[in-house]
Amino acid sequence: MQFCPKCGAILKPKTEGKRSYMVCSCGYSTKNIQTAEIKEKIQKDEKEIAVVSDDDVTLPSTEAECPKCKHKIAFYWMIQTRAGDEPETKFFKCEKCKHVWRDYG
C-alpha cells in the first residue's frame, strides 16, 4: 500500500496501455516519476579456515585397552547418541594406532 506524499491519501493503481502507475484523488500521479532500481552487491569476507590435525589432540585420556593393538591409553569423549533418558555413549580413540571404538556404558 502506498500513500500520497501531498495529501496522505491511499494511492490507487491506474493502467494506460501496458504501463501501470499510481494516482491520487488530489491529482498526484507517479506517471512521470522514474522508477528506482535497487542494486545489491554482496561482499564476501574470505577468511582462512584453520585446519586442526590429529596431532593436536585436546581430548582427555584414560586407561582403556585398545581392542586392535592392545595399547593401554586412549583418548575419550562422550556424546548423547540415544534418547535423553538413556546414558551417553563414550567413544575411545587409541593413543597409538588411532583406532576408535565405543562403550555404551
Distance between first and last Cα of the chain: 63
| Distances 13 to 2, 5, 24, 29, 101 between C-alpha atoms, Å | 10, 15, 9, 10, 69
Q: Collapsing DSSP states into helix, strand and coil, what is residue 95?
A: coil
Give the active site residue among 16, 40, 54, 85: 85
Residue 85 is among the residues annotated as catalytic for this protein: yes
Residue 86 is among the residues annotated as catalytic for this protein: yes
- Distance of alpha carbon 69 from alpha carbon 104, whole angstroms: 21
Looking up cell 532500481 gives 37
Give the active site residue among 45, 56, 86, 88: 86
Catalytic residues: 85-86
